[in-house]
Amino acid sequence: MPRLDPHVQLTLIHGDAPFIIEREARAFVNAVLPPEEQTYGLTVVDFETTPVAEAVSALYSGSLMAGTRVLLLENVQALRAGAARAKEPAEGEEPSEADEPEEAAKSGTKPPQKVLTEALASIPPGVFVVLTHVSTRERKGYALSAQLSKLVASNGQSAQHKMPWERELGQWLIQEARERGKRLDPAAASLLVELTGRDHGRLSSELDKVSAYVGKAERISADDVSAVAVRSAEATSFQLVDAIAEGDTAKALAMLPDLVPPHNAASAAILLLGMIARNLRLLWQASYLGRNRAPVDRGRPPESLAELLPTQQNVSEATRSDYVAKKLAGHARNFTDTQAAVSLERVLHADQALKGQTGEHLDPRLVVERLVTELCLLAQRSRP
């Protein structure tokens, strides 16, 4: 990806990787304005909490203490652009025009992105504007308007950061380690993803921790990661389902104290049941694909099969990691439709018990232990 030019007055940093976008925006701000000058020269506006009028006001507000000013405008996706578009334009694709919504037309008000675009058309000398736009399932918002996109294309520059597939996270970590002056073993990178999960922020934080642990040593091994990295609830729950699929009752029960701690048993148990149900659904999909000669460890299934999969909790999305894909494909070989249906029915019953809907008043930990034991027995019976 080409480097952004710190001499360009208008810059857009966007994509679906929030941590990377935020980090790159801050790094670019530092390239434009040294940290020691940011006390008086940097203004940050977050559109998730601040109206667009304040950004426009800040754009034209001079500073006697700073010759160069930077205006960092975060979360442009929070600003209404006009009529909603069905999807974000692909990289390099020209966005379609969006008309103002009916209510805006009737009231005479302009969509906030249009107000911002008009203001940015004439940025004062000595002022640099950095926009961030994040588009993820967690941060639902508005697409960039056609007018704002065209303004950036003609008067400024942009950089797009896409969330890498899980199978690419290992290489991303190796590159991150290289930038820290460390050499991360591929096995260590895979283990770090397995233990920590997919969140870039957590991965970066854990990599910092492991780097500090090895000190002046250049190499980071899997043993170093195992000694320091904190296992995420998501990763542990996946390993729990892994043990359940293997029918290993002792191993599965041994994980529960960490996943359902006594001080937070009820809420932790409900959260865990959701994770178990999700992984069982993924395993059921993997089993179906395997029986139709499209195992999940061989890439995306044919379109005729892919269109039958659910939109949410889709196994094709979940198996971006080679490690996860191989695990699911292996367990799916012995996972039957009957086992899937009965297992999810047991999860439902446990959920109802936790919420007091069955007439039982049991300790949440006992409910989860009983569920895990039942699921392991089902797995044992399904083996050939």
Whether residues 224 and 130 share a domain: the answer is no
Of 304 and 324, the one with more pLDDT: 304
Q: Which of 57-66, 103-112, 118-127, 364-373 has the lowest mean pLDDT?
A: 103-112
Mean pLDDT within 92-118: 61
Q: Which of 134, 152, 122 is nearest to 79 (CA)?
A: 134
Of 72 and 192, the one with more pLDDT: 72
Is the pLDDT reported for residue 358 higher than 70? yes
| 383-to-52, 239, 359, 376 alpha-carbon distances in Å | 61, 19, 34, 11
In which element (H, E) is residue 44 found? strand 42-46
Whether residues 174 and 32 share a domain: the answer is no
Rounded to an integer, what is the distance from CA 275 to the centroid of its chain? 16
Is the pLDDT reported for residue 239 higher than 60? yes
Exposed/middle/buried for residue 283 (C-beta within 10 Å: 0-12, 13-18, 19+): buried
pLDDT at 100: 41
Q: Total structural domains in the chain?
A: 3
**What is the residue range of 174's domain?**
166-228
pLDDT cut 70: percent of the chain above it: 86
Highest mean pLDDT among 22-36, 262-276, 317-331: 22-36
CATH number, residue 82: 3.40.50.300
User: What average pLDDT does the structure give for the chain?
Assistant: 84
CATH number, residue 242: 1.20.272.10
Whether residues 175 and 34 share a domain: the answer is no
Whether residues 176 and 147 share a domain: the answer is no
Rounded Cα–Cα distance for residues 188 and 206 (Å) = 12
Is the pLDDT reported for residue 233 higher than 60? yes
Whether residues 199 and 334 share a domain: the answer is no
Is the pLDDT reported for residue 101 higher than 60? no
pLDDT at 129: 96
Contact 39, 98 (CB under 8 A): no
pLDDT at 187: 86
Mean pLDDT within 245-261: 90
Q: Which of 19, 7, 13 is nearest to 70 (CA)?
A: 7
Mean pLDDT within 324-336: 83
Whether residues 221 and 264 share a domain: the answer is no
pLDDT digits (tens, 9 = 90+) for 20-32: 899 999 999 999 9
Whether residues 58 and 40 share a domain: the answer is yes
The neighbouring-strand residues paired with 69 are: 127
Whether residues 205 and 237 share a domain: the answer is no
Whether residues 306 and 261 share a domain: the answer is yes
Mean pLDDT within 92-102: 44
